[in-house]
Amino acid sequence: MNVYTRIYKTAKKHGMSVKEVAKKAHIGENSIYRWKVIKPSIESLTKVAKVLHVSTDFLLGQDNNKGIDLADTTMPLFYQGHPIPDKYIKMLGFLMEEDIHEKSPKDKH
C-alpha cells in the first residue's frame, strides 16, 4: 500500500477527506494527491501524520501496528475526527475487562 492510500484510508476513519487533511496540515490542497507518484517531503509527511494521529513510519508502511491500548493516556483517541472523552474510554475499558473475564478459562475446583 502506498503513502497516499494509507493517508486516504486513515483520513476516512477520522471522517475527513484527503483535501481536509491537507488543509489541517497547512500544506497545499493537492499535495497529498501528488504523493501517488512522488515521495512527500519529511516536513509535509510529519504534518499529515500529526493531523491523523499516526506515525510517519505508519504512513510510509514501515509500521503496521494500529493497535490501541486504552490504558495509554499519552495517546489521544478519536471517533470520526472527534476526541473521545475520558469517561467513555473508562467505560470501554470496563466493558473489555468484563469480556476478557467471561472468556477466560474457569477454575475447575
pLDDT tens-digit readout, 34-53: 999 999 999 999 999 999 98
What does the pLDDT average to over 71-78?
Answer: 71
Q: Which DSSP letter does residue 20 get?
A: H
Evaluate if residue 67 carries a pLDDT over 70. Answer: no
Among residues 3, 7, 87, 5, the alpha carbon closest in space to that of 38 is found at 3
What does the pLDDT average to over 68-94?
Answer: 78
Angstrom distance (rounded) from CA 89 to CA 18? 27
C-alpha cell at 45: 509527511
> What structural domains and CATH numbers belong to the chain?
3-59 (1.10.260.40), 68-109 (no CATH)
The confidence score (pLDDT) of residue 75 equals: 67
Q: What percent of the chain has pLDDT over 90?
A: 42
Angstrom distance (rounded) from CA 74 to CA 51? 16
